[in-house]
A and B are shown apart, each in its own frame.
Chain A
Amino acid sequence: MQTYAQSVAVTGKVTSAEDGFPLPGVTVKVKNGTAAVSTNNDGIYRINANRGQVLVFTFVGMVKQEVTIGTNATINVKLATDAGTINEVVVTAFNINRDKASLGYSAQTIKGDEVAQTQREDFFGGLQGRVAGLSVNSTNGNPGASAQIVLRGFTSISGDNNALIVLDGVPINNSTLNQTSQLVSGAANRDQDYSNRAMDINPADIETYTIMKGPEATALYGSAGAGGAILITTKKGKTGNTAINYSNSFRVERLNKFPEIQTVYNSGSNGVFASSTIFNGPKYLPGTQIYDNFANFYRTGFSQKHNLAFEGGTDKFTYRWSNEYSNQQGVVPTAAYKRISSRLTGSAVVSPLLKVTTTFNYINSTNNKVNKGANGTLMQLTRFSPAFDIRQYQNPDGSRLLHYTTIFSEYDNPLWDVNKDPAIDKTDRVLANVNFNLTPTKWLNINAIFGADVGSNTGVQVYNGQSYKGSGSAAAPTGGYILNYQNLAKIYNGTFTASAKTKMGKGFSGTYILGYTMNSFNSNTTSQSGTNFYDGNFYSINNTLPTTRTAYLSVIRYNNLGAFAQAILGYKSLLYVTLTGRVDATSRLYPSLDANTGTTATAHPTFAYPSASLAFNFTEIDVIKNALPWLDNGKLRTSYALTGKEPYKEYALGTNYVSAVTTGGGYALSVNGGNPNLKPETSKNFEAGIELSFLKNRLGIDFNYYNLTSVDQIINPRLSYASGFVLELLNGGTVRNRGYEATITGAPIRTKDFNWDVTLNYTQNRGTVISIANQLPELYDSDTWVVGNLRSAASPGSSTGNVTGTRFDRNKAGQILINPTSGLPTVSDGTFYPIGDRTPKFTAGLINKFRYKRFNLSFLWDLRYGGDVINDTEYEIYTRGISTKTLDREVPRVITGVLNDGLQNTDHPTPNTISVTPYANSVYYTTNVAPEMFVEHNIKALRLRDATFGYDFPPATLARTGVIKTLSVFLTVTDAILITNYSGTDPESNATNASAGGIGGYGIDYGNVGKPMGFNLGLRVKL
């Protein structure tokens, strides 16, 4: 017998089970039907359905609920927060939504608001500690500092290890300006910092982050995603009347840790006074006023941030327009970062088959930077005599106040430097994309995304003619220096994917995806420099001596094409097999005309690689389900993937000329030889993991093991010059990264009034350089060679975090050889030995969230355990007699060792008995110094990255205003606590900047300002 279905209009309100707030944007769907609507701003929905049908309520981060339509036409639903999040939908590559159950790899998802709540200017800073396997290594604590964003360790010795940043399906520019190759100065990438461009994104615009770590997960992005990817989904407009969201935050910040310096001994050497920056002189005369110059130099930073967003729409059209103004004044005087961002997103259902979403984002930022490294503020501070008041930095006539010598030889007072040597970067950037989603039939979905990311970056860097770096020399004064650059970076992206879903037979399902991508990157940089300012305080290239002006053009361009096919074969929701194949073609492997041979090599610009994964949701088996009733969900997963990574440099297949600046100009070949045989670096990744959730999803465990081997490493070693070149990009070397990642999520307390959620992320990674081409003993990064003979280098058999250094001469028994005349050790062997490993043993992040009635408290502890940190700051101040470790200089000591007297390698070497008193013999502090003394081993650092305390005003109270829908206030503290056995300011430090390839200056602390403690106070209001 057949009954005619009776259609009724069902309405109701969806609220949060926790706080009773209405939930807008919840999808309400008729199960197995086509009708679907969203709740409006007040959580109200209205849908036509038949009695007996089932309504499905879904919302990101909430437990799905199904309600059968009975006689009552009003169905109110309370949705609970999903603690286990095992059934959620995950946005994978190209906005392909996949049921998490089908994924054969780990993909952690973080809510955008959680990161935005940290009030950091950069979203990646807020991600640190929230994701297993993610390491965000910032250069220092200054506003706008660049950061390496690395997933699962450093896989390339020389290449780029940064994760790909994908915004709404479109990879965006996250490059960092490379001074060496892009600017006329050609300077090493360490004395100036340039923000990595992901800095431009307003964290408040972000809905979710999905972290794709393994190459299998990113095989879909091809070469660019070989280092993993962070997929960012931005907030879209929600159906309903226009809502206005406003939030602000005001921050004060203060630096509370500085290097310790001695204030007992004056400048000079051998206990004799001399005006200099070496403090091996006599004691300060009694009554000498000692200034606390560190305290007098740094200021209290102040920041403010305002976010204003309008959103609304109908079920056919939604929009969201969000605006940000952020202004951060750092703790170093003049250091500031300012950003204005405006983002408009519109989404329209053009026809039942086609949905179009477009976004347009304009960003304007200004970064007032200060110098870092050797002549950065911190090193300048340490060298500045405490007998002088740092606040006095100029004479009444505006010239530099000198204390001991001339402008050519005396280091700058840092206050002079920050005030007179400006370095300003300005960015204007437009990010736009359009997403066409066509659903011609129920089983077919076609998605096309086009994105443009066009940014103009301009900058100026000045050394005043009176400054140490700008003065030149007495013999050839330079009278100031200015460098301007103009960079236009354009990225265009297009992706086209078609996915088809089928069901075959009993419980078998298949999803088939075909895709095609194209990327185009073009970055044009022009730069000019000049010296000898006519007017010493007018900073313009027009104000320089014409004969000193030089200019340079750098063009970086590369295009990529990719095609891929993926099949996801499922059996019920029990077993899924995913097979992916991808072909990449890159212009960087396209041969160019070789200036050397005058010929063009054969083209092999394409490379292909496959991947496979398996997801086994064993709790779907009834036997197991019944046997383990306490286990809600259980999944075993494994995957194997190959990924190709294109060369990190363009034009490397052929040799290039460079213009000569010598008499007559002309061209000469570049130091880099072309290598027509270059092929992609290949990663082989095996990954296996388990996901479990217990106690009604109140406890979840995600554990993962991986083994990633990268072969055919692309390295850039020096060559025998008989090749005609100095360097060449070569394939050679293998790096292995092995590790564990675990995420434990729990909801220990879940009551009406009190909730406690906790997440623990654990990361353990070992990266090992298995081999390097041609048995090279060491492949070092010269940019990291900042103090003494210590540098970052890959050595076969050592960790990827290896540092090498010279050592004291020793006899065959390993005893230190002592010079029989001076009583001091010697370093005559120029070999660099591995002396440290900067890789932490493990890192962990612990997130706690409490909610009591309308109060909430959340905080993130971040632990780094083990591994070495190189204290180059201490290295330098020790050799200058500034370190407090030199305070015992009047105590005579005998260095343990044997005399280098001819008997040193006999069975009876002469023990050293020569007594040395450093006070009278200052050479002690430069001779009895070996790089390994400044490698601080087994560094542990526990920090409270951020903590937020908030209060939400009750809706009933707000209802009386008639305007305000929600209102909350919060206090957020950032970098409040740092407990570490590291003797320097901050173990999170980088001697280079994020443009350096490989591991760069990670873990090398040289003159870096630590992270200031910040207090943010703000409110959020919704009208």
Chain B
Amino acid sequence: MRNIYKITAVIAALAFTTGCKKYLDINSNPAVPQVVKAEILLPPIEFQMCNGTAQDYERAVSKLTQNMSGVNTEDASLQWEKQGYIGGSDVSGVMWRMTYFDLGINLENLIKDAIANQKYEYAGIGYAIKAWAYQITTDAYGPIVLDEAFTPGQLTFHYNDQPYVYDKVREWGNLSIKYLNMTSPVSSASTLAAVGTGDGIYKGDKTKWKKFVYGLFALQYGHLVNKPAYVTSYADSVIKYVGLSLANETEDASIYFTASNFADANPMGVLNAPKLNSGWLSATGTQTTYYGRQTSTILNLLTGGVRGTAVANSITSVDPRLSRFLTAGTTASTTAVTYIGTTPTAGSASPTVPVILGPLPSGGTYNGKYIFTDKARYPIMTYSQLQFALAEALFIKNGKVGNTAAVTAYRNGISATFDFYNQYGRTQATPDPAISATEIAAYMASSEVVQLATPTLLTMADIMQQKYIAQWGWGGIETWCDLRKYHYDPTIFRTFVQPPTLALSSTNGGKMSYRLRPRYNSEYVWNSEELAKFGGLLSNYNTQEMWFSLSTP
């Protein structure tokens, strides 16, 4: 009898507890899933690869590299042109957000799910993107959080130095290759190939993804030109990996957009122009004076300044890219046909320089220009870019004297930019004309381009300036790496406006900019002790040279 009581009591207690548990176990959001598969994580990750880099490019990096500028005298606009930064602000911190938050754990979960469920294509793509993201992040910020990132329960994080990050990038790149070489028990090919919801970069083409990873390696080694080991081994690595990488412009890595509304359109296009994360145009649609004006730096390169003297107020140019990349006339008048550009750091001296979205037609809606349209694919890596890295490696290896191999790579790089334009640069509602074979031939034969017959005429300026043109409008960090590794050399970057010391930001101490400060509302608020260890709190932290461009191993 007593036992019956006991048993009844236990059963009652159990029933009560289970009931309570069920009643309380509702702390998961029924409006969204709690566990998400790799397939569903990939599209937003790829979109963010663009969004993260584009925003910083628009606001800060394009000004540091003089790809673009503003036409405003306000400090917030001029700071970046003056090689400075804006304190207490998250401008230039979007790549930080991309790597740690937008990709961050999403990417970790993608890789985890892919490996656990033997979806090796996804694992390979995941590691490739991870390697790329950390490469971009360290090239922008120098030392970054790596080993301690995403540790649950941790609030402050230790930084790893740049050489360590470079090593990790190659480690993840090799993991990517490993998984891309494996065959999944069930193929994800059809999911990856789906337009829009699949892999928007390569539609799951594993061969191209491997080429992307090799390209990443090539670019990484290409940053190390000042290291003693560059001549002896890194240049060979560049040559090897460029060879394994993209074969032509059809293999470029770029991001796809549905472009049905601003949220899923290219952030550098017209729909996003009045939105907060772009800034080409102000919210009311008038041209903002802060960002996105074409500069004299690019204008002069396209009007005879690569090898000769740029023609001021050009109407035409032997370089067909002038009329395809830049807008003729002024903001007020699109009928004038001379091309003008701003002088970076000069502020409102040239307020009528047009915005890179092209001329404003009378109807009021921008047509877009070049790769600045809603549907334009956003480039991440191009064949042309790699050919210039190859040319540079061959050139240096040959004692900085041009040889046929270097000139061939260099000329491949230039002609690939025309292919690039014809393939990706004509997505406007009313596209600009394609660059014809005649135009290409004329330019390739002009004095702006070193001819195969005279390889010794090739200089580093030829390679770097053509690479600058090829990357203009998108390749922010890589262009900036080039400028930094050659220390803004005026003999290499001939059209780059060397700001006089007085025009530099007052906290720079007369130096040019070499790194971005980590995101303010993340690192300066929470990790300031860690930043203090390597001078991150100094007001001239942005001018400290980074490991990759130093000669120390």
List A residues at the B interface (Cβ < 8 Å). Answer: 408-409, 472-476, 518, 547-548, 553-555, 557-559, 561, 585-598, 603, 605, 650-651, 653-669, 671, 677, 718-726, 774, 776, 828, 830-831
- Bitwise interface map of B from 256 to 285 toward A, beta carbon under 8 Å scored 1, else 0: 111111111000001101100000011111
A668 partner, pick from B20, B106, B526, beta carbons under 8 A: B106
Asked if B145 is at the interface of the complex by the 8 Å CB criterion, the answer is: yes
The segment from B43-51, B385-393, B426-434 that touches chain A is B43-51
Q: A660 touching B149 by the CB < 8 A rule?
A: no
Main secondary structure of the interface of B (DSSP, over half): loop
Instruction: Chain B residues near A518: list those with CB within 8 A.
Output: 23
Which residues on B sit within 8 Å (CB–CB) of A665? 40, 43-44, 197
**B170: shortest Cβ distance to chain A, in Å?**
22
Closest beta carbon of chain B to A238's beta carbon, Å: 39
- B residues in contact (CB < 8 Å) with A: 20-21, 23-36, 40-48, 51, 87-89, 96-97, 100-102, 104-106, 108-109, 112, 145, 148-157, 196-198, 200, 256-264, 270-271, 273-274, 281-286, 364-366, 519, 521-523, 525-527
Q: A473-B274, A595-B109, A666-B41 are in contact. List 13 more A-B contacts (CB 8 A).
A: A472-B285, A474-B284, A475-B270, A475-B364, A554-B31, A555-B31, A557-B26, A594-B34, A650-B29, A651-B29, A656-B32, A720-B522, A721-B97
Known A-B contacts A662-B263, A666-B42, A667-B36; A596 and B109 likewise in contact (beta carbons under 8 Å): yes
Which residue of A is nearest B145, CB measured? A722
Of A553, A661, A724, the contact of B149 (CB 8 Å cutoff): A724
- Which residues of B have CB within 8 Å of A588? 27
Point out the residues of chain B lying under 8 angstroms from A592, CB to CB: 27-29, 34
Chain A proximity of B371: nearest CB distance (Å) = 16
A223 to chain B, nearest CB (A): 13
Partner among B29, B152, B156 whose Cβ is within 8 Å of the Cβ of A720: B156
- A668 B102 Cβ-Cβ under 8 A: yes
Flag if B155 contacts A476 (CB, 8 Å). Answer: no
| Contact across chains for A476 and B153 when beta carbons are under 8 A apart | no
Point out the residues of chain A lying under 8 angstroms from B157, CB to CB: 720, 722-723
- C-alpha spacing A588/B29, complex, angstroms: 11
Q: What is the CA–CA distance of A472 and B521 in the complex, to the nearest angstrom? A: 30
Partner of A561, one of B24, B34, B100: B24
A657 to chain B: which residues have CB within 8 Å? 32-34, 36
Q: How far is the CA of A146 from the CA of B305 in the complex (A)?
A: 65
The distance in angstroms between the C-alpha atoms of A585 and B263, with both chains bound, is 42
CA distance A723 to B155 in the complex (A): 7
**Distance of A828 Cα from B106 Cα, bound (Å):** 37
Q: Which residues of B have CB within 8 Å of A651? A: 27-29
A274–chain B nearest beta-carbon distance, Å: 14
Q: Find chain A residues with CB under 8 A from B102 CB.
A: 668
For this complex, 30 residue pairs linking A to B, each with C-beta atoms less than 8 Å apart, are: A473-B281, A475-B273, A476-B274, A558-B27, A559-B26, A561-B23, A587-B25, A587-B26, A590-B27, A592-B34, A595-B109, A603-B21, A654-B34, A656-B32, A660-B43, A660-B44, A661-B263, A662-B48, A662-B263, A662-B264, A663-B46, A663-B257, A664-B258, A665-B43, A666-B41, A667-B36, A720-B157, A721-B100, A723-B150, A830-B89
Shortest C-beta distance, A719 to chain B (Å), equals 6
A664 lies within 8 A of B34 (CB)? no
Q: Output the least CB separation between B446 and chain A (Å).
A: 37
- In the complex, what residues of B have CB within 8 A of residue A667's CB? 32-33, 36, 40-41, 44
B283 in contact with A726 (CB, 8 Å): no
List of 4 A-B pairs having minimum Cβ-Cβ separation, nearest first: A664-B43, A830-B88, A473-B285, A474-B285
Q: Which A residues lie within 8 Å of B101 (CB)?
A: 669, 671, 721, 724-726
Whether the pair A593, B105 counts as a contact (CB closer than 8 A) is no
Partner of B197 from A473, A586, A664, A724 at Cβ < 8 Å: A664
Establish whether residues A475 and B196, one from each chain, have CB atoms under 8 Å apart when the complex forms.
Answer: no
Query: Which residues from A are CB-within-8-Å of B36?
Result: 595, 657, 666-667
| Contact present for B525 and A776 (CB under 8 Å) | yes
CA distance A776 to B527 in the complex (A): 11
Bound together, the chains give a CA A718 to CA B100 distance in angstroms of 14
A664 touching B525 in the complex, CB below 8 Å, given contacts A596-B152, A605-B24, A657-B33: no
Given contacts A586-B24, A664-B43, whether A720 and B109 have CB atoms under 8 Å apart is: no
Q: Contacts of A723 on B, CB cut-off 8 Å?
A: 100, 150-151, 154-155, 157
Let me know if B522 and A721 touch, CB within 8 A. Answer: yes
Max chain B Cβ within 10 angstroms of own Cβ: one of A591, A671, A718, A724? A724
- Closest Cβ–Cβ distance, residue B45 to chain A (whole Å): 8
Give B72 Cβ to nearest chain A Cβ, in Å.
Answer: 14
Closest to B34 in A: A593
A467 to chain B, nearest CB (A): 13
- Bound-state CA distance A474–B259 (Å) is 19
Partner of B270, one of A476, A650, A677, A828: A476
Q: Are A722's CB and B44's CB within 8 A?
A: no
The answer to whether A664 touches B29 (Cβ under 8 A) is: no
Q: A408-B284, A476-B270 are in contact. Are A719 and B522 (CB under 8 A)?
A: yes
In Å, the complex CA distance between A474 and B31 comes to 36
By beta carbon, the residue of chain B nearest A595 is: B34
Contacts of B150 in A (CB 8 A): 722-724
Which residue from chain B places its CB closest to the CB of A409 in the assembled complex?
A: B284
Complex-state Cα separation, A654 to B29, whole angstroms: 10
In the complex, the answer to whether B24 meets A559 with C-beta atoms within 8 Å is yes
**Which A-chain residue is minimally distant from B86 (CB atoms)?**
A830
Q: How far is the CA of A651 from the CA of B200 in the complex (A)?
A: 32
Q: Which residues of B contact A668 (CB under 8 A)?
A: 41, 44-45, 48, 102, 106
B105–A596 contact, CB under 8 A? yes
Partner of A724, one of B26, B104, B284, B364: B104
What's the nearest-Cβ distance from chain A to residue B544, in Å? Answer: 21
B44-A474 in contact (CB<8A): no
Min Cβ gap A849→B in Å is 49
Q: How far is the CB of B504 from chain A (nearest CB, A)?
A: 16
Inter-subunit contact B28/A661 (CB<8 Å): no
In the complex the two chains form, is A663's CB within 8 Å of B200's CB?
A: yes
In the bound complex, residues from chain B placing their C-beta under 8 Å from that of A605 are 24
Q: For A661, give the chain B residue with the smallest CB separation.
A: B263
Chain B residues contacting A408 (CB-CB under 8 Å) are 284-285
Q: How far is the CA of A362 from the CA of B156 in the complex (A)?
A: 53
Looking at the assembled complex, report how far the CB atom of A929 sits from the nearest CB atom of chain B, in whole angstroms. Answer: 16
Chain B residue, CB-CB nearest to A831: B88
A557 CB contacts on chain B under 8 angstroms? 26, 30
Residue of B47, B87, B102 ringed by the most chain A CB atoms within 10 A:
B47
The interface residues of chain B lying within 8 Å CB-to-CB of A594 are 34
Which residues of the partner chain A approach B87 to less than 8 Å between Cβ atoms?
828, 830
Q: Which residues on the A side are within 8 Å of B259 (C-beta)?
A: 663
CB distance from A633 to the nearest CB of B (A): 45
Residue of B nearest to A406 (CB): B284
- Assembled-state Cα–Cα distance A617/B89 (Å): 62
Closest chain B CB from A145 CB (angstroms): 29
- Which of A664, A666, A667 lies at the interface centre, i.e. has the most chain B CB atoms within 10 A of its CB? A664
Quick one: given A585-B24, A669-B105, are A677 and B527 in contact (CB under 8 Å)?
no
Q: A474-B286, A663-B258, A830-B87 are in contact. Are A721 and B519 (CB under 8 A)?
A: yes
CA distance A666 to B44 in the complex (A): 6
- Shortest Cβ distance from B221 into chain A, in angstroms? 27
Q: How far is the CA of A653 from the CA of B256 in the complex (A)?
A: 35
Question: A555 contacts B30, CB within 8 Å?
Answer: yes
**In the complex, what residues of B have CB within 8 A of residue A475's CB?**
270, 273-274, 281, 285, 364-366
* Chain B: minimal CB distance from A560 (Å): 8
Q: A474-B284, A724-B101 are in contact. Are A669 and B27 (CB under 8 A)?
A: no
Q: Considering the chains assembled together, what is the distance between the CA atoms of A677 and B519 in angstroms? A: 27
Q: Are B23 and A476 in contact (CB under 8 A)?
A: no
CB distance from B531 to the nearest CB of A (A): 11
In angstroms, how far is the closest chain B Cβ from the Cβ of A404?
13
A residues near B46, Cβ cutoff 8 Å: 663-664
Nearest A residue to B195, CB-CB: A664
Q: Is B32 touching A722 in the complex (CB atoms < 8 A)?
A: no
Q: How long is the Cα–Cα vector from A603 to B28 in the complex, in angstroms?
A: 13
Which residues of B lie under 8 Å from residue A590 when comparing CB positions?
Answer: 24-27
